[in-house]
A = this chain, B = another copy of it.
Amino acid sequence: MIRSISGGVCAAKGFTANGILCGIRKGRTKNDLSLIVSSVPAAAAAVYTQNKVKGAPLTVTKQHISDGKAQAVIANSGNANTCNANGIEIAEAMCRLVADGIGISENDVVVASTGVIGQVLSIDPIAKAMPALIAGLSEEGSDAAAQGIMTTDTVKKELAVEFTAGGRTCRLGGIAKGSGMIHPNMATMLVFLTSDIAIAPALLQKALSEEIVASFNMLSIDGDTSTNDMVTVLANGLAGNPEITEENEDYLAFAEALHAVTSSLCRMLAKDGEGATKLLVCTVTGADTLTDARIAAKSVISSSLLKAAMFGADANWGRILCAVGYSGAAVDPGQVDVSFRSAKGEIAVCEKGAGIPFSEEKAKEILSEDEIDILISAGNGAFSATAWGCDLTYDYVKINGDYRT
């Protein structure tokens, strides 16, 4: 039984957070520096972008959690600290500032940055703001921290759930930032998860790594895999459950809670994709293998042509067949059925790979909603998969035509 609760990244026992505006980038009015702290050392796990160009913070974080432990997360927006000669130095300095301020080892600090690539990140505004950032840490700080990692995001992404493991109530919450350069490959944008469950680091990593494949890796905003993608989870054990050290019932309960949180975050991220007016959720059923279902679903929500058609509420299902066709999935086009669904109803548009008569008026009505399900039956196979994306709009072009300056 998984139940939604409030508190975001501070919902789990022992976690505090804060976010402030330190002035990394001129003109910004939202927070740009966030801190999350556990009152005790926590098991830590992470997955990172597979882009060969990697932000310096990822290198530092990887090293710091190599022992499976961490206690704090520092993250800034406005500058990705990537492709800079002194990137590692700055990322390490950020960790040191946190470590000195709260009295822990700098090796227990996770560091992340997001924003423009290739501009030198000055440590000055961060150093200046650190005392206030630390002084303001509180159990109500998730909102401020979620804001501090936003770039072109228009809404904060945070949520938390409660579940039971080892007879104890456990909590898992998180914050995330979207909303462009998202086409994850074994990892994703920035997502920070916290839990009070007791779990061995190796199993925490296993649960996270396995979850990513079905959630963040099935999300695409624009086909560009970021240099700074990172998902981390800290689990501090304060829920008091017996530590999970094997793949038992408690492990499965945690994995289920993790899936509830990550798939909800995927929806939130896709819906707030840069310039997006519509959330697209594509579900492929009836595939012969899980991989085929995933490849086909992801190809559909990644198609610029389909994304533009959805923006225009145009039931152009041929573009769906086309995207399934070039996806590389082993799907027989002659077996494919397609329908669209939203709050306004459902309409079938293609059966066995060919068009069927349908009401254009009804289709337009269904596709004018802001959450669209694209339902694809690939045949009689046993496997299905879901991918999340958004429409392609004038505003995507506008946002990215002059993001840097």
A-side interface residues toward B, CB under 8 Å? Answer: 49-54, 80, 82-85, 116-120, 180-181, 183, 185, 222-227, 302-305, 308-309, 311-312, 314-319, 321-326, 331, 333, 350, 353-355, 360, 392-394, 396-405
Contact = CB atoms under 8 A, between A and B. Distances in A.
Contact of A321 (B117, B185, B350, B403): B117
B333 A83 contact: yes
A372 B369 CA distance: 39
B52 A326 contact: yes
For the residues of A in contact with B, the DSSP-based class is loop
Given A305-B181, A355-B119, A394-B394, A53 B224 contact: no
5 contacts: A49-B326, A53-B321, A83-B333, A185-B326, A394-B397
Contacts of A308: 396-397, 399-401
Nearest to A393: B397
B402 A325 contact: no
Given A360-B405, A393-B397, 12 more contacts: A49-B326, A53-B321, A84-B354, A116-B318, A117-B321, A119-B355, A223-B303, A225-B326, A227-B318, A308-B399, A309-B402, A314-B403
Contacts of A120: 355
Contact of A227 (B85, B309, B314, B321): B321
B354 A85 contact: yes
B223 A304 contact: yes
Chain B CB within 10 Å — which of A53, A120, A311 has the most?
A53
Contacts of A303: 223-224
A401 B312 contact: yes
B355 A309 contact: no
Contact of A322 (B227, B302, B355): B227
Q: Which 3 A-B pairs have the closest CB atoms?
A: A117-B318, A312-B401, A53-B325
B83 A222 contact: no
A152 B243 CA distance: 62
Nearest to A302: B223
A354 B83 contact: yes
A82 B83 CA distance: 46
A52 B332 CA distance: 8
A312 B52 contact: no
B118 A350 contact: yes
A83 B318 contact: yes
Given A319-B117, A354-B118, A311 B83 contact: no
Given A309-B401, A398-B394, A401-B312, A322 B51 contact: yes
B392 A309 contact: no
A311 to B, nearest CB: 5
Contacts of A180: 305
Nearest to A404: B316
Contacts of A402: 309, 312, 314
B311 A401 contact: yes
Contacts of A53: 321-322, 324-326, 333, 353
A118 B355 CA distance: 5
A303 B400 CA distance: 11
